[in-house]
Amino acid sequence: MANQKPKKQELEKHEVEGAKEIGKRVYEIAENIVHQIEHEHTPTFSTKVRGLSNVYFDQDKGFIQLGDKTVTRPFLNLGAARKFMQTVLVTEKCNEYLKHSKTASIREIYYELKHTVAKTNENTFDGQEESNDVIVDIEHSVSTIREKLGLQADPKGSLYGDITLIDRKHNNDEFSCKNLGRGGWSIMSRIEPDEIEIKEVNADFVLVVETSAMYGRLIEENYPKKHNAILIGTSGQAARGARRLVHRLRYEFNLPIVVFTDGDPYGWYIYSVIKSGSMALAAHSKFLAVPDAKYVGMTLTDVEEYGLQAVTEKMKDGDVKRAKELMSYDWFKSPAWQKELKLAIDKKIRIEQQALANKSLDFVAKKYLPEKIDNEIFL
Amino acid sequence: MSNEKTTKQETQVSKDGIDANVLFSEFKEHSVADFFKKNRQMLGLYGKQRTLTTIIHELVTNSLDACEEAGILPEIEVKISEIGEEYYEISVMDNGPGIPENKIGSALGKLLAGTKFHRLVQTRGQQGIGVSGIILFSQITTGKPTKVISGTSKERAVSLEITIDSKTNSPKMTNKVYLEKKFRGTGIKAKFKEIQYKKGQGSVDEYLRRTAIANPHATIVFQDPFQEVTKYERIVKTLPKIPKQVKPHPRGVTVDELLSLARYTSARKISSYLMLTFDRFGQTAVDSIAKMIHFDINKDPRKITWEEAEEIVSAIKKTKFIAPNTNNLVPIGENFIEKSLQTIVEPEFCFVYTRKPSVYKGGYAFQVEVAVAFGGNAGRLVSVSSPKAKNRKDSLDDQEDTKEVRVSEIIRYANKSPLLFDAGGCAITKTVQSIDWKRYGIHNFESAPVTVFVNLISVHIPYTSAGKSAIADEEEILVETKLALMDVSRRLGRYIIDKKKEAEKLEKRKVFAKYAPEIVQALSRITGADATKLQKNLDKMVLEKLKMEDLEDQKQKAKDDKIEEEIEEEEEIEE
């Protein structure tokens, strides 16, 4: 692939906002409620509506956006009272983290806040889903991402290749991901420039790989070095950190993004999220989505092309349903994708990345990927 | 026992110069037993459980009627013992007036001895197969005689055995013994085969429970074949009024009835026969009829031919009559039904409504009493397997967990006598099911803990068939029943909704009170605001909100009530 000169993208206000500004907005949630109670107005909490009713596909930008609809939750409502209480508790914790420059995992905040409500046998939170939910509410209420609230998701995904990073939050460690051993670097949940600085990248493109096994295979075959690629393994659906990293590499260093997943609706949806964002994080698509990400495989055309008929698997009913949903997405409307999805629905078969091993272990690194990427055979 | 009224009827007939034996000679000459055997279906003596319940029904009904006519508060003991497979001994004992020794034979040992057929009076029985039918059934299935003990207030109590000569329809009494101890009442003990005792719907237990509900003035004791005793204690000490026999209203008369009744009359002319025999039949009506028929209205009524009778009936149809007298109906009464349901069904609450008497087919007086009992022990207890327990991973055994739940039941009565069978074909069931229960706060009627009580009272109950366990779809009866049910349902609905609201309010108060301290403490920690003051304000706001909701509810309720009333008025008008 043609090597293009890296060019940094201007950072948006949102991205450079520090703990101070965010902290102020979190504090205001509490201040506002206190004000309401003091003036005997029903205490309320407002946030953006998520879900289908407030999510749309922005044709111009090529990714999913969140609309402007907001929802106001009053405390004095039987259905909303408990969640209101939980929101106030999480707000307090976030306020505390930001004040003392601490970070906690979303599991830690759950355990920090879980206790029995006084004079009852009811827990403040029943399961982490409840606190996770409230965290998303607060994120959307103060228009930021959880990482800026002092919270982080579990790290997921790995990075390998000729890329030099500086961890600004940890002794300013400087390291290149090409010599951290076969596993590469474990991608943090928070990848913002003030924490992880990308010092230097020497690569022609970024290859995003769904399975850890394929990630390991490609490193063992020395694929990144031979083909001048940065390798990112997502271990299934890409986490925020991995997506944010892909986004930064695309826009700060102008690297083309190529996605390589299993040939099934689940794999294609991984590509869909990297390319156009997800419903759950629609508000942050701008910092996560890469609309010009390319899809290399697996495809059902590959099955014909490389004679892999013997190593396909049957699709389950759920897979077929998912494929039909994908067909209806605006960003899957290209004739090539429609054809591919229709083929999958008709044949009811799927193909895994590892199925390429049927030819030989190094087939994927020596033939499949070079052939398809060099000739830009993308979907 | 029914003996007394039977004799009265007979004497009256004899005085009029007609021998009852002549009237019933047709019955006698045919083998009554053969007739009986062939028509078991018609007499309700089919199905092993149903037959048993019918036997109990006949005996208990007789006892209740006898006690009430004698002005005695009934105490009835029912006992069933198992002798062998599908072989039982049944005894029913009452504290009634007893039967004079010389009348025992004719009262109990003669089939169709009564002349209930043309009698228009609100009676439980109406079946008329009576105790004699039961004695005959015992005899047919076991070959054994029936034991009777009887004691009146004047005579010595006597014990004897009775069999019926089915060829001649005459009783045969043996083993007569006078009792040493004093006894007043009647006891009947007989053995039966081809019957079966089972619990559940259609059982004797259920029959007696329902009988107790409709007869709060009676004490009923039941010992089942497992020697378990159920006792329904008397709830009220007032005897119901004895329903008076009424003259038939001309509107309901058939050709056959017109001819049969003509045989009894002492009148010499058709005109006076009509006026004497029928209710609301005056000179104007006679004059109008006279113009329409093609023979002399002063003819001897005993000489009317079938064709002439047809002419009279069709003339009657074209003549206007005042609606029949409805004073002779004796409902159980709202108070008594409520007391009964409270004591026996033990619901959380119940609503009762006795409609005013009305008339169907233009000629028969009737009246409807309904009640809904809800919550508590109302409804029918059924066992259901709980699917939750079944799917639970941690339940190691394969046994399904069953739990008992209460589902709706409809208890139907005709003249206070429970109707246990043919529920599906009964107008009462259909009417209950036609009610839009959702509108009254019951979202699934089938699975709601509710007992619906309906008692139809009439001088002539329109049964669907000779089995006499289902009411026919008479338009006027359907309408009255529906209106009555709507009235009680409306009250029920209001109660349920109020109760839900009350529970919701309590829940709200609890929920807000529960979370408020958590919120206040956290807010105080973030902003440094005074926690006590915040808590005080929040408490105040909760109270105010609930108060406002209360006011809104009341407004809404007033509005609803108005709408309901309007709907009701419209419905009454439509009717």
Pairing state between β A151-152 and A104-105: parallel
Do B47 and B118 have their domain in common? yes
Contact A233, A215 (CB under 8 A): yes
What is the biggest distance separating any 2 CA atoms in chain B, rounded to whole angstroms? Answer: 111
B511, B534, B542, B545: best mutation site toward chain A, by most A Cβ within 10 Å? Answer: B511
The answer to whether residues B260 and B198 belong to one domain is no
The full length of chain B comes to 575
Of B149, B129, B133, B153, nearest to B141 (Cα)?
B133
Q: Give the whole-number percent of chain A exceeding pLDDT 90.
A: 72
CA atoms in the 13 A half-sphere facing the CB of B418: 27
Residue B377: CA atoms inside 13 Å, Cβ hemisphere, count?
A: 6
**Is A81–B518 a contact, with Cβ atoms under 8 angstroms apart?**
no
Model pLDDT, residue B243: 83
Q: Name the percent of chain A lying above pLDDT 70.
A: 96
B522 to A89: CB separation less than 8 angstroms, yes or no: yes
Sign of CA dihedral B194, B195, B198, B201: positive
Q: What is the distance in angstroms between the Cα of B515 and the nearest Cα belonging to chain A?
A: 6
Quick check: B541 and A40 CB within 8 A?
Answer: yes
List for chain B the helix, strand, coil content (%; round to 5): 45, 20, 35
| Cβ-Cβ contacts under 8 Å, A34 against chain B | 523, 527, 529, 534
ipTM for the complex?
Answer: 0.76
Least Cα separation, residue B572 to chain A (angstroms):
41
Whether the CB-CB separation of A248 and A237 falls below 8 Å is answered with no
Nearest CA in chain B to A115: B518
Flag whether B242 is in a domain.
no
* Residue among B236, B201, B269 at smallest CA distance from B411: B201
Task: Please identify which residue in the block is written with the tokens 């420059």.
Answer: A101
Q: Which of B504, B526, B541 sits opposite A76 (nearest CB)?
A: B541
**CA–CA gap between residue B480 and residue B475 (Å, rounded):** 9
Comma-separated ranges of CATH 3.40.1360.10 domains in chain A:
158-374
Does residue B537 belong to the interface with chain A, where contact is any CB pair within 8 Å? yes
Give tens-digit pLDDT for A274-326: 999 988 888 889 889 999 999 998 999 999 999 999 999 999 988 999 999 99
Domain contains B552: yes
Residues of B in contact with A43 (CB under 8 A): 519, 538
Which residues share a beta bridge with B193?
B87
Residue B156 touches chain A, beta carbons under 8 Å: no
CB contact (8 A) between residue A34 and residue B529: yes
Residue among A272, A154, A124, A256 at smallest CA distance from B522? A124
Residues B474 and B507 placed together within one structural domain of the fold = no
How many CB contacts within 8 angstroms connect chain A with chain B? Answer: 73
Residues A23, A28, A31, A35, Cα dihedral to 10°? 170
pLDDT over threshold 60, residue A102: yes
In this structure, what token pair is assigned to residue A169?
A: 């939050």
Same domain, yes or no: B281 and B218? no
User: What is d(CA B286, CA B506) in angstroms, rounded to the nearest whole number?
Assistant: 71
Q: Between chains, do B538 and A43 touch, taking CB under 8 Å as contact?
A: yes
Ranges in chain B, pLDDT < 70: 1-37, 42, 111-121, 123-129, 386-401, 466, 564-575
Interchain CB distance below 8 Å, B533 and A31: no
pLDDT digit string (tens) for A253-278?
Answer: 999 999 999 999 999 999 999 999 98
Same domain, B557 and B450: no
From A102's Cα to the closest Cα of chain B, the distance in A is 16
- Element housing B384 (H / E): strand B380-385
Strand A185-186 versus strand A158-160 pairing type: antiparallel
CB contact under 8 A, B518 and A117: yes
Q: A298: cis peptide before it, omega within 30°?
A: yes
Note whether residue B197 is domain-resident: yes
Q: Are residues B185 and B109 in the same domain?
A: yes
Of B489, B508, B535, the residue at which a domain comes to its end is B489
Distance CA B65, CA B31 (A): 29
Nearest to B380 by CA among B450, B430, B318: B450
Count of all residues that appear for chain A in the document: 379
Residue B502 inside a domain? The answer is: yes
- A159's CB contacts (< 8 A; 6+ apart) are A177, A184, A185, A187, A230, A231, A232, A245
Q: Is residue A205 classed as helix, strand or coil in its secondary structure?
A: strand
Kindly indicate the confidence band of residue A357, based on its pLDDT and cuts at 50, 70 and 90: very high
A121-126 average pLDDT score? 92
> Inter-chain contact B518–A89, Cβ cutoff 8 Å?
yes
B17 lies in the same domain as B139? yes
**Do B154 and B295 belong together in one domain?**
no
Indicate the Cα dihedral angle B302, B307, B312, B318, nearest 10°.
170
> What pLDDT was estimated at residue A16?
61
Minimal C-alpha gap between A303 and chain B (Å): 42
B287 and B424 part of one domain = no
Which residues of chain A are at the B interface, by a Cβ-Cβ cutoff of 8 Å? 27, 30-31, 33-34, 37-38, 40, 42-43, 75-76, 78, 81-82, 84-85, 88-89, 91-92, 95, 117-120, 122, 124
CATH code for the domain defined by A158-374: 3.40.1360.10
- CATH (domain of B423): 3.30.230.10
Give the gap in angstroms from C-alpha A133 to the nearest C-alpha of chain B.
Answer: 18
B504 — contact with chain A (CB < 8 Å)? yes
Which amino acid does the sequence have at A356?
Answer: L
Question: Is residue B519 within 8 angstroms of chain A, CB to CB?
Answer: yes
User: Does any CB of chain A come closer than 8 Å to the CB of residue B268?
Assistant: no
Question: Considering CB atoms only, which of A78, A84, A95 is closest to B526?
Answer: A95
Are residues B421 and B534 part of one domain?
A: no
Residues of B in contact with A95 (CB under 8 A): 526
The separation between the first and the last C-alpha atoms of chain B, rounded to the nearest angstrom, is: 42
| Sheet containing A205-209: order of strands | A185-186, A158-160, A229-233, A205-209, A257-260, A294-297
Residue contact A92–B526, C-beta within 8 A? yes
Contact by Cβ (8 Å): A196, A166? yes
Nearest to B50 by CA among B245, B224, B196, B257: B196
B464 token code pair: 């669907």
Is residue B241 domain-resident? Answer: no
CA distance A62 to A64: 7
Q: To which residue do tokens 């006892």 refer?
A: B63
Asked if A245 and A195 touch (Cβ cutoff 8 Å), the reply is no
- The pLDDT tens digits for B406-436 are 999 999 999 999 999 999 999 999 999 999 9
In chain A, how long is the greatest CA-to-CA distance?
74
Specify the number of domains making up chain B.
Answer: 4
Report, in angstroms and rounded to the nearest whole number, the Rg of chain A calculated over CA atoms.
23
Q: Do B519 and A124 touch (CB under 8 A)?
A: no
Looking at domain A18-143, its CATH architecture is Orthogonal Bundle (1.10)
B119 domain residue, yes or no: yes
Q: A89 contacts in B (CB within 8 Å)?
A: 518, 522
Sign of CA dihedral B332, B335, B341, B343: negative
DSSP-assigned letter for residue A275:
H
Please, which pLDDT band fits residue A5 given cuts at 50, 70 and 90?
very low
Distance CA B94, CA B77 (A): 6
Tell whether B83 lies on the interface with A, counting CB pairs under 8 A.
no
Residues spanned by the domain of B278? 250-317
Tokens of B352: 């009762």
Contact (CB, 8 A) for B419 and B469: yes
Of the residues A111, A160, A215, A271, only one is catalytic, namely A111
Q: Are B508 and A78 a contacting pair at CB < 8 A? A: yes
Q: Are residues B342 and B299 in the same domain?
A: no
Interface test with B, best of A28, A35, A73, A92 (most B CBs within 10 A): A92
A105 min Cα distance to partner chain B (Å): 21
Residues A263 and A260: their CA atoms lie apart, in Å, by 9
**Residue with the larger pLDDT of the pair A259 and A170:** A259
- Which residues in chain A have Cβ-Cβ distances shorter than 8 Å to B541? 37, 40, 42, 76
Beta pairing, strands A229-233 & A158-160: antiparallel
* Region(s) of chain A under CATH 1.10.10: 18-143
Beta strands B146-151 and B87-94, pairing class = unpaired
Smallest CA–CA distance from A118 into chain B, residue: B514
| Neighboring chain A residues of B514 at a CB cutoff of 8 Å | 117, 119-120, 122
pLDDT at A10: 55
- State how far residue B471 is from chain A, nearest Cα, in angstroms: 49
CATH code of the domain in which B296 resides: 1.10.8.50
- Does any domain span residue B437? yes
Q: Which residues of A touch B534 (CB under 8 A)?
A: 34, 37-38
Read off the pLDDT of each residue in A57-72 and give the average, rounded to a whole number.
91
CB of B507 within 8 Å of a chain A CB? The answer is yes
**Are B345 and B300 contained in the same domain?**
no
Chain B residue at shortest CA distance from A84: B519
DSSP annotation of A358:
G
Q: Which of B259, B286, B317 is the last residue of a domain?
A: B317
Which of B506, B509, B523 should we substitute to test contact with A (largest number of A Cβ atoms within 10 Å)?
Answer: B523
Cβ–Cβ < 8 Å for A319, A341: no
Q: Which residues on chain B are in Cβ contact (under 8 Å) with A122?
A: 514
pLDDT tens digit sequence for A128-138: 999 999 999 99
Cβ within 8 Å, pair A30-B533: no
Query: What is the tens place of the pLDDT at every residue in A16-56?
Result: 667 788 899 999 999 999 999 999 999 999 999 887 789 89
- C-alpha Rg value of chain B to the nearest Å: 30
In whole angstroms, what is the distance from residue B490 CA to residue B484 CA? Answer: 10
- Strand ranges inside B24-118, DSSP E: 75-84, 87-94
CA A183 from chain centre, in angstroms, equals: 20
- pLDDT (0 to 100) of residue B155: 85
pLDDT at B543: 87
pLDDT score for A143: 84
Residue A38 to residue B533, Cβ atoms within 8 A: yes
Residue B81 domain-assigned?
A: yes
B541: nearest CB among A42, A95, A124? A42
- Yes or no: say if B23 and B263 are a contact pair by the CB < 8 Å rule: yes
A111 is an active site residue: yes
pLDDT the model gives residue B474: 92
Other CB atoms within a 10 A radius of the CB of residue B548 amount to 10
